[in-house]
Amino acid sequence: MRSTSSTSSTSSTTSFALVRTADELHTLVASRASAARAAASSAARPHAAENSRTAVVMTMGALHEGHATLVRTAREYVGPDGFVVVTVFVNPLQFGAGEDLDRYPRTLDADLTTAEAAGADTVFAPAVDEVYPGGEPQVRISAGPMGERLEGASRPGHFDGMLTVVAKLLHLTRPDLALFGQKDAQQLALIRRMARDLNFPVEIVGVPTVREGDGLALSSRNRYLSAGERRTALALSGALFAAGDRLAAQHALRARADSLPGAQNRAETRAEALSRLGEARAAADAHAVAQATEGNGAEAVRAAARAVLDEAAKAEPPLTLDYLALVDPADFTEVADDHEGEAILAVAARVGRTRLIDNIPLTFGATK
């Protein structure tokens, strides 16, 4: 077991460690807990150590600011007396034929620096034999119908492999809570479902997507993009933001129509109400008015995103769309045009050899 001096001011421990086996991890956690109890007792805080919790942030390495945000959030959840574990394991079960298992970046030394600076207590970086001691497991967790949609349809078996390793790492790290980024929205939904359906005694916490200054969602795969490919890749977030703007405009138009004096007491359509309002912008945007009158405009939201992606398909290099979907976060099925409540707009595409995903949460009917 390798230990280094900690530079984190938030951690309750005095050293940062890299461990390779579950036994080493459990010994370290027990040692830290004993030290925390002694420190709490000497500081007249007898219940501090009793209330400490362990949080895990699971990664495949190549850590970036998005991962660092997960670690900092984990520290906020467990406090200075808690314990934060970062796992680094490139899971072979998640990679299908022709995918980038061998190409996936391995940057453990840099990962240790990032994890320590963000406030982790330890990095658990097991070998494949530690996680799968008998070779690839014969018994695996099935992601079920939700795991066959979107990412599951594009990458058959991916979610079965993901859930299997998450389940194993939860057993090996024994956390009270586990944090995952919302960029992988379908993954997060499936992990929450697994924890609930299989009675895992762990709290699953979703953390908002971290983006670079130009809007591109942080991903370990971004490093594969050339300058030209990166410019094209910005269409993913651009499409999502355009859709969000479209929905906000829909809500604003409906709110204006509904707020007209006497509008609620007359058999008057929203289009008629907006025309009576006499706003030049609303009158000029007949499509927006029409969409604001019926349902909540889910199709208009899809169309706004699709228009950006269609333009990117003509770029050089081009964007090749895998899917654009507006789905119910409960099961990742497409929502109807009259959908009300929460939804996720998700996109996946290839730019060059690199496949990227992104999504944003949307709320329909919030201003009704």
Active site residues: 67
The Cα–Cα gap between 184 and 45 comes to 39
DSSP characters over 270-322: HHHHHHHHT-HHHHH-HHHHHHHHSTT-HHHHHHHHHHHHHHHTTSSSPEEEE
Cα dihedral value 14, 177, 326, 101, nearest 10: 60
The Cα–Cα gap between 242 and 305 comes to 6
The Cα–Cα gap between 219 and 210 comes to 9
Backbone angles phi and psi of 288, in degrees to 5: -65, -40
The Cα–Cα gap between 183 and 347 comes to 11
301 touches 243 (CB < 8 A): yes
- Name 301's Cβ contacts closer than 8 Å, sequence gap at least 6: 243, 246, 247, 250, 326, 345, 362
DSSP characters over 37-105: HHHHHHTT-TTTTTT--EEEEEE-S---HHHHHHHHHHHHHH-TTSEEEEEE---GGG--TTSSTTTS-
State the pairing for strand pair 319-327/341-351: antiparallel
Q: Report the side by side order of strands in the sheet with 341-351.
A: 319-327, 341-351, 354-364
Angle between helices 270-277 and 286-293 (to 10 degrees): 140
Question: In 10 A of CB 173, how many CB atoms?
Answer: 24
In the chain, the largest separation of any two C-alpha atoms, in whole Å, equals 75
Q: What is the DSSP letter of 263?
A: G
Nearest to 306 by CA among 296, 292, 317, 319: 319
